Structure 1
Amino acid sequence: MAKTFLLGTLGLALLVASAAPGRAGDLVADAVMPLLDGTALAGGLLPQPVEAEKATTAQDTAATMLVPFEQSAGAFTLSGEDAVATFTFRLDGPQVSAGGVLNLAYINAVSVLPDTAKVDVEVNGREIGSFAIAAPNGTLTQTIAVAPEYLRAGRNVVQVRARQHHRVDCSLDATYELWTKLDPALSGFATGVAAPFTDFDSLLAVRRNAAQRTEVRVVVPGASGAEALNEVAPVLQALVLFLNRDDVTVSVADRPGTGPGIDLVMAMDRSGAGVLSGLGLSAAPRGLSVQAGASPDRAAVVMRAAGLGDVNAAVLAAVKGPMADGLKSGIFEKGRGVITVDAGERRTLREAGYQTRVFSGRLSRTEFAVEMPADFYPAEYATLDLRLSAATSPGLDQTAQLLVRVNDKVVKSYPFRNRAGEQFDGKRIELPLRAFRPGANRVELLAELPIAADAACRPEERDDGKPRFILLDTTAIEVPALARVGRLPDLAALAGKAYPYGGGKAFDLVIDRADHQSVGAGLTMLSRLALSARAPLNARIAIGAPAEGTGRDALVVASQNDFAELGTADKAAFPTTDDIGASVADLLKPDTLVTASVSGAATGNETADLLQAFHDSTAGGEDALSFGDRAQRWLAAATNSFGRWLNYEGEDATRLSPHDKGSLVTLSQMRSPDGLATWTVIKADAPRDVEAGVNRLVEPAVWRDLQGGTAAIETAGLALVSLPAADRYIADLSDRSPGNLRRVAAAWFSDNFQIYVLLVLACLGAFAVWLGLMVPKKGVRSDR
């Protein structure tokens, strides 16, 4: 049955998230003066601190219930001289009325100067306290009492601002040694009022497991067949979108899990009533409901339905009803450090949640994310403009400058030349479109602000009352007309916008084996893609091999032939985790003997490697090469170097062979064999490896770095290694207007500059030939 609810769910979700942000209209001069005069503004600017409660150890607060922050572990580090982190936590009515204590467990770098370092804390936009940063030797928990009037039912927002300075080094590079890291397991809101898992909103307070991951276990009785998995998919995606956590891992089993997490119990009528009674959930109503789990820190989401039609109806009813507020305040909430843009739009930093702050240190760092369209073609045909609204103070060194870093690469610098101070009212700074990519892009504005006094490096003489820089929230980015064409393979578009599987497009999720580990890996990837698309995906799950000739795109989860002897009939009875010998631990063990052989059984990759080694060993030196060979080598090297420069790649770009022996798992995109569709293939040597590899791939820090045509997780260090796409093809060209076709052509020529140069030379040559043929015929005319 077609999943017609998906488009309805998407439309509803977009309707729920339709609240538009206010426009920023403040002028630079109006905002600068109160800040420089010392006037406190909302958002923690020049705060009047309230002293925090005394520091406690983790054991002192263990007796109370700790409501965790919803953000994943990567958001808990505050680095640099002035850093801000935003967290959210959920409370119900009784918990708000009782008030509580905010626990911030942290450790800081030894290089942080304790005399001046401090943390300021706000809850829901109101200052609640501050404390000194003084935990270089171990984790210390600071507690700040929060009265009920500071809280609200639902999601509460905590803003933590750390201002810290170096003990002995006043250089700009030393600011990167400054950090304060919160412990996600020990930080949160401590309350004496327990909140059992009884509704969907209560799921927002579920804790993470020991690995700091949000565990969702799908409980499916019997074999994990395609019918059962297609019933799981809509419920799982709705749940993950509601949680809005980017660290979810999905496992599959026939019984609930233990410890913190969520059990998604599929109780279909064909399984009988014994499934729920055996789990103690016989009181669960029909449809989708939330029940208490086997332990206080575990929840159960129960689906009771007759078939896929009932499942779709129940999910749609939940999205329209009890899930609506959570979706609106979660995944569709604006101003959480992300700016979503499209062609011709202007967006301000205020829309990303940035608040104007004055800065008195040496290196100001402002970070936000820019989400580009999924079919955006990055190339040198236009620029994305940064409209800078800021001011610098007098006395800056002549080396002061603003650096713009996109996806960890510096793409623009703008010097602050006026030592008497400058004010920028929408100063245009052009950023190359090639530096961006489809989906999410990390943008950092780095203001280097040295002064002469920094050379003396006397921390005791530091004057934080005299700011050096202010960046206004009216700073904006302006997006030009974009070339719109879907080019694949592109793992950045996959990770950023779930392209080409988003937008309600039907595709197949094909899992080659129906064992719990392979199925868990497939559902984990499906959940992460739904989160990237901010909408449920229209996936049809199948067990076996992808079908050719259908024209449907496919996401394929495949393990190789380690257990092929089980045969197709027994795939559902795959060995358990304890029975599998080919584990990650086994792969980590070094070989005691490494041999090489040449045989008829050698693979194509091995043969190519041996031939390349032969050519390398027999190749002559530079002196033995002819002039033509030298020129050819030089031209190839120059072309490769220029191509790396165009794409902001370093000289040490890593290369790998598709799924070589050092890879735990590989992720690659390719055309289907019939050329009608796109396949994204996740491949590993064994089901346990594909599960471990996918869990590593979807980690936030790894997922955001996916790019190119192939990515691999190394077995030894679990590091991500990417391989650029050798050849790309056009998967979609929905905009066929002359303007878009012109931009696509310009983008293609900028990528293939050699052809552009040859065309220019050919045109010049043709003109020269024409000129040579025509001019002699136009001699001086004489009358006789």
Structure 2
Amino acid sequence: MTRTPRLKMVLMASVLALPTLAVAQTPFDMSPERGGSAPTVRDQRPDGAFVMPFDTEPNAGPKLDFLPAAPVPFTLPEEGPRLIAPEEPVAPVAPVPAEPPPERTASASDIDRFILPAANLRFEGESGRRSWGIALTAAQAARATTLAVTHNSSIYVAPENSSMRISINDRLVLDQPLSAESDDKRATISLLPGTLKAGINVVTLEVVQRHRTDCTIESTYELWTDIESAGTGFVFDGGAGNGFVTVDDLRAVGTSPNGTTTLRVVLPGGDRMLAEADLLRLVQAVALLGNYRQQKVEIASTLLPETPPGTLQIAVGTTSELSALPGVPAEAATSAVVDFADGDAPSPMLVVSGPNRTAVIAAIAQLAVGVERPPTAAPTVVNTTPWLLPTVPILTGEQSITFADLAIPTEEFTGRRSHAEFHVALPGDFYAEAYGTATIYLDAAYTEKVRPGSHLDIYVNGFIAANTPLTSASGDIFRHLPISVALTHFRPGVNRVTIEAVLDTEADDICAPGASNDEPARFALFDSSEFSMPDFARIDRWPNLAALAGAGAPYGRSETPVQIVLGRVDANVYAAAATFLTRLAISSDGVIPTTIGRTQALGDAPAIFIGALDQFAAPTLAEIGISETARNSWTGQSSGELSSTPFEIDPLSSPPATFGVTTGTKGVYDRWQNELVNPSGLRGTWFAFENWLEETFELSFSSLNVGSREEPDYSPPGRATAIIAQSPAASDRLWTMVAGPTEEALVEGVTELSIRQYWSILNGRASSFDDATGVTDVPALSQRFIFGDGFSLQNMRLVAANWLSINIVGYAFALVLLCTILGICTAALLARLGRRS
């Protein structure tokens, strides 16, 4: 009896040991758990890059890092990778000892030249592409041996199907999967000699993003990747200088991490030059020569010991005033000089000097002569190289451009939401928002897998402008399919046009793993497509901040100097004026001639007022249409200050009813319906008629207004830090005011408004900026026309067509009048012809 329990225990132990023995006989490499890295098989993409297979276990073995331990130079293979045939024997791969993850050789503080055109560059959707230019001196191109890229992606981005590629001067320098992490991921790339060159270097960044688990069209809106400017740029090697030698090297100054270039004007001789407009002419010329699309100006009396990235110091003064500064050219003692202090200096310093004050002014004129443009010489392109390539053409009338010329290549798409965009610019006197339509002649194709209900959408500056459904169940090929795009959302300056294909397929409902990479293309867009702009009306209007921001109008074409009226002649106000003027100069592509004016002597001359609001007299504010009470009530509190204000609210108390006491949901609803939405009596009948008119004919009483309407006085929002306001249409003056509640807020607000994202959306009669809400516009109730020299009957016909499309009552009166005249003329003519019965 004692052997039976022992026998049972032996049998149970044998049964439990069987799975372990079976696993031990399985030929599986456990090298990751043993400290090595298991051999992996990579799949080749059509573009030649490699990605990890979809079924790779994310937790098997050590974390895969796509960056090598040491920078490896990238070489383009002459032939594709060799594929092993099935019959060839494959040699066993020995486990490779594990290596520690690569150390980050650079941090944000190590970046010597930031390369992004903004604080961050975001790519949304399933694909994105962006090209821009980086200017380098010969010394910088030789010293830039490393490119650091910091990015952060959405947690929904699948790294096995998503990638990021960076090319410099058509040479691929980075191709790696995208991965979502809680912190920014940093890649460090060693650049081969010859990758960079002196002058403009074209950087192209491409992103492909796929969702981890979802295949619906809605899921594509969850995909994004941010390229962070603070950790993206070139790292210089060696101790040599940056090589600033000629004025052409001004383009190589670069930007700060937020994309801004700082022009620090140093006046060791004091602030005497602030009483004249010579410094305004100087900073405009420097900004145009350097093509700084986003800049700010500082006025100081001393040099910075260490210059931050993206800062250019400009020393201005006579030779005696600059004698204490290092590296001043010796020629300044005898003649006017514009030169860099020392080409081997770690930071650039431009010296504008001469033996006396007259020579200094002559040096400024010498620098500005190359970028001054006559008012009649209109530019043909907008030089957007620092933030967008190719440069944007300016369309001045009827013109057609192919997608190939707009840098949209022929592309096949396998995803759910295709995205392509291009940019065109319009002049400051563009006037066709109410009647004109552009046309996109689309060459595209889609397969039979794309189900009806899919569609093509056209966006202009973020607003939907056209929609074309894809109705064929068997696929289709479009050959110059005309798609009309209303000109409603076009504006002076650079406009962004986006073509988006929303594609729905049955495979997306199944959503098999890896299907987005394995399936053939479902949509194709060909670069033979065209964008055709019709002939449009051209006439200046006032007030119109969109034309001011987009093309510097009307000051950019002013034949007389623009009067700059400063609220107070000091460094802060002058710096704000210089920042605003340089932004206008960039928009108008030329130096704007200015003088320092006085309010009493202005008359009808064009003028720009800059300063704190309480520094201007009440008549001046009244002439521009700004409420006088704003001088004392405008505090300019920031959003942070408002959020910290304590509010005492009793959660148990409730405000009294303002329309009487009514119990029950139905009673409250009836009260709102009767007293607010559908009031009784004559007022209710009038509201009902107005609603019927709008629903039936899409008309409102505001559109039936004839003639100009009186503009109410403008009161800046309490939290705004800066405003830009123009005098109303009833005034004959071309006056613009740039003001803040204080000088410090003015400098901060003007700097923020000069950022391209804010500057490009200024519109209406007045705009304000605050940190919480950004830019807020006040539309102009009426505008007056400013007739230029380009008068023609054809242009006046287009102007009348647009004006009558806005003022429909005037159109109706004109139609009735013409019909009456036609009837009278017909009756008079018939009275003289034929026989009387």
Alignment TM class, shorter chain as reference: 0.7 to 0.9
Contact 1:235–1:311, Cα closer than 8 Å, also in 2: no
Q: After the TM superposition, which residues 616-695 of structure 1 pair with which residues of structure 2 at under 5 Å, given as runs?
A: 625-627=680-682, 630-631=685-686, 634-635=689-690, 642=699, 657-671=714-728, 675-695=731-751
Residue from 256, 260, 269 that aligns with 2:309: 260
Q: CA deviation at 1:497?
A: 0.6
Residue from 122, 125, 129 that aligns with 1:84: 129
Residue from 68, 75, 88 that aligns with 1:54: 68
| 1:670-723 per-position Cα deviation (integer Å, ceiling 9, x unaligned) | 2599x4431111122111111111112111111111111111113x61521111
| 1:574-626 per-position Cα deviation (integer Å, ceiling 9, x unaligned) | xxxxxxx98858964766699xxxxxxxxxxxxxxxxxxxxxx9x97566643
TM-score normalised according to structure 2 size: 0.72
Query: Corresponding residue for 2:351?
Result: 302
Q: CA deviation at 1:123?
A: 1.8
Q: Say if 1:346 and 1:772 are closer, same or farther in 2 by CA, change over 3 A.
A: closer
Letter in 1 for 2:267: V
Contact 2:382–2:425, Cα closer than 8 Å, also in 1: no
Contact 1:379–1:751, Cα closer than 8 Å, also in 2: no
Q: Give the whole-Å Cα distance in 2 for the aligned partners of 1:288 and 1:443.
A: 42
Q: Give the whole-Å Cα distance in 2 for the aligned partners of 1:132 and 1:706.
A: 39
| Unaligned 5+ runs, structure 2 | 1-44, 52-65, 70-100, 373-380, 618-634, 649-671, 704-711
Query: Corresponding residue for 1:555?
Result: 608
Residue from 673, 696, 705 that aligns with 2:761: 705
Letter in 1 for 2:584: L
Residue from 718, 721, 730 that aligns with 2:776: 721
Q: Once structures 1 and 2 are overlaid, which stretch shifts more, 454-463 or 196-205?
A: 196-205
Q: Say if 1:82 and 1:243 are closer, same or farther in 2 by CA, change over 3 A.
A: same
RMSD (Å) for aligned C-alpha atoms: 4.1
SS in 1 for 2:285: helix
Contact 1:668–1:711, Cα closer than 8 Å, also in 2: yes
SS in 2 for 1:310: helix
Q: CA deviation at 1:445?
A: 0.8
SS in 2 for 1:278: coil
Q: Give the whole-Å Cα distance in 2 for the aligned partners of 1:60 and 1:411.
A: 48
Contact 1:339–1:351, Cα closer than 8 Å, also in 2: no
Contact 1:363–1:447, Cα closer than 8 Å, also in 2: yes
| 1:614-650 per-position Cα deviation (integer Å, ceiling 9, x unaligned) | xxx9x9756664336632674389569747999xxxx
Contact 2:419–2:501, Cα closer than 8 Å, also in 1: yes
Residue from 484, 498, 501 that aligns with 2:538: 484
Q: CA deviation at 1:528?
A: 0.9
SS in 2 for 1:73: coil
Query: Corresponding residue for 2:515?
Result: 461
Contact 2:540–2:787, Cα closer than 8 Å, also in 1: yes
Query: Corresponding residue for 2:414?
Result: 360
Pairing 1:315–2:362 present: no
Indicate the structure whose relative CO is greater, using CA pairs within 8 Å and at least 6 residues apart.
1
SS in 1 for 2:776: strand
Residue from 338, 348, 351 that aligns with 1:288: 338
Residue from 285, 296, 308 that aligns with 1:249: 296
Q: After the TM superposition, which residues 733-772 of structure 1 pair with which residues of structure 2 at under 5 Å, given as runs?
A: 733-760=788-815
Residue from 192, 198, 203 that aligns with 1:158: 203
Q: Give the whole-Å Cα distance in 1 for the aligned partners of 2:509 and 2:713.
A: 45
Q: Say if 1:49 and 1:285 are closer, same or farther in 2 by CA, change over 3 A.
A: farther
Q: Give the whole-Å Cα distance in 1 for the aligned partners of 2:274 and 2:419.
A: 50
Q: Give the whole-Å Cα distance in 2 for the aligned partners of 1:304 and 1:669.
A: 37
Letter in 1 for 2:567: D
Q: Give the whole-Å Cα distance in 2 for the aligned partners of 1:261 and 1:91.
A: 13
Q: Give the whole-Å Cα distance in 2 for the aligned partners of 1:766 and 1:628.
A: 39
Contact 1:667–1:681, Cα closer than 8 Å, also in 2: yes
Letter in 2 for 1:280: P
Q: Give the whole-Å Cα distance in 2 for the aligned partners of 1:427 and 1:482.
A: 22
Contact 1:405–1:445, Cα closer than 8 Å, also in 2: yes
| 1:27-62 per-position Cα deviation (integer Å, ceiling 9, x unaligned) | xxxxxxxxxxxxxxxxxx953238974388885125
Q: Give the whole-Å Cα distance in 2 for the aligned partners of 1:214 and 1:119.
A: 28
Query: Corresponding residue for 1:105?
Result: 150
Q: Say if 1:691 and 1:316 are closer, same or farther in 2 by CA, change over 3 A.
A: closer
Query: Corresponding residue for 1:519?
Result: 574
| 1:90-116 per-position Cα deviation (integer Å, ceiling 9, x unaligned) | 444456567723222111111111111
Contact 2:729–2:784, Cα closer than 8 Å, also in 1: no
SS in 2 for 1:462: helix
TM-score normalised according to structure 1 size: 0.77
Q: Once structures 1 and 2 are overlaid, which stretch shifts more, 760-769 or 500-509?
A: 760-769
Q: Give the whole-Å Cα distance in 2 for the aligned partners of 1:517 and 1:179.
A: 40
Q: Say if 1:197 and 1:439 are closer, same or farther in 2 by CA, change over 3 A.
A: same
SS in 2 for 1:185: helix
Query: Corresponding residue for 2:261?
Result: 214
| 1:504-523 per-position Cα deviation (integer Å, ceiling 9, x unaligned) | 64322222111222111111
Letter in 2 for 1:430: S
SS in 2 for 1:277: coil
| Unaligned 5+ runs, structure 1 | 1-44, 321-327, 565-580, 595-616, 647-654
SS in 2 for 1:708: coil
Q: CA deviation at 1:121?
A: 2.2
Q: CA deviation at 1:240?
A: 1.2
Contact 1:360–1:465, Cα closer than 8 Å, also in 2: yes
Q: Give the whole-Å Cα distance in 1 for the aligned partners of 2:502 and 2:527.
A: 19
| 1:238-269 per-position Cα deviation (integer Å, ceiling 9, x unaligned) | 22123323221112122234533434434333
Q: Give the whole-Å Cα distance in 2 for the aligned partners of 1:426 and 1:61.
A: 50
SS in 1 for 2:555: coil
Q: Give the whole-Å Cα distance in 1 for the aligned partners of 2:573 and 2:159.
A: 50
Q: CA deviation at 1:750?
A: 0.5
Q: Say if 1:177 and 1:315 are closer, same or farther in 2 by CA, change over 3 A.
A: same
| 1:4-48 per-position Cα deviation (integer Å, ceiling 9, x unaligned) | xxxxxxxxxxxxxxxxxxxxxxxxxxxxxxxxxxxxxxxxx9532
Q: Say if 1:166 and 1:633 are closer, same or farther in 2 by CA, change over 3 A.
A: same
Query: Corresponding residue for 2:396?
Result: 342
Q: When the two structures are aligned, how many residues end up with a matched partner?
A: 676
Q: After the TM superposition, which residues 356-505 of structure 1 pair with which residues of structure 2 at under 5 Å, given as runs?
A: 356-464=410-518, 466-503=520-557, 505=559
Q: CA deviation at 1:195?
A: 3.8
Pairing 1:538–2:583 present: no
Q: CA deviation at 1:161?
A: 0.8
Residue from 217, 237, 244 that aligns with 2:284: 237
Q: CA deviation at 1:118?
A: 0.7
Q: Say if 1:149 and 1:495 are closer, same or farther in 2 by CA, change over 3 A.
A: same
Letter in 2 for 1:142: A
| 1:64-93 per-position Cα deviation (integer Å, ceiling 9, x unaligned) | 974534442266222211111224334444
SS in 1 for 2:322: helix
Q: Give the whole-Å Cα distance in 2 for the aligned partners of 1:299 and 1:58.
A: 32
Contact 2:288–2:371, Cα closer than 8 Å, also in 1: no
Q: Give the whole-Å Cα distance in 2 for the aligned partners of 1:452 and 1:644.
A: 48
Q: Give the whole-Å Cα distance in 1 for the aligned partners of 2:532 and 2:757.
A: 27
Contact 2:157–2:212, Cα closer than 8 Å, also in 1: yes
Query: Corresponding residue for 2:88?
Result: none
Q: Once structures 1 and 2 are overlaid, which stretch shifts more, 437-446 or 204-213?
A: 204-213
Contact 1:234–1:315, Cα closer than 8 Å, also in 2: no
Q: Say if 1:534 and 1:202 are closer, same or farther in 2 by CA, change over 3 A.
A: same
Q: Give the whole-Å Cα distance in 1 for the aligned partners of 2:701 and 2:194.
A: 56
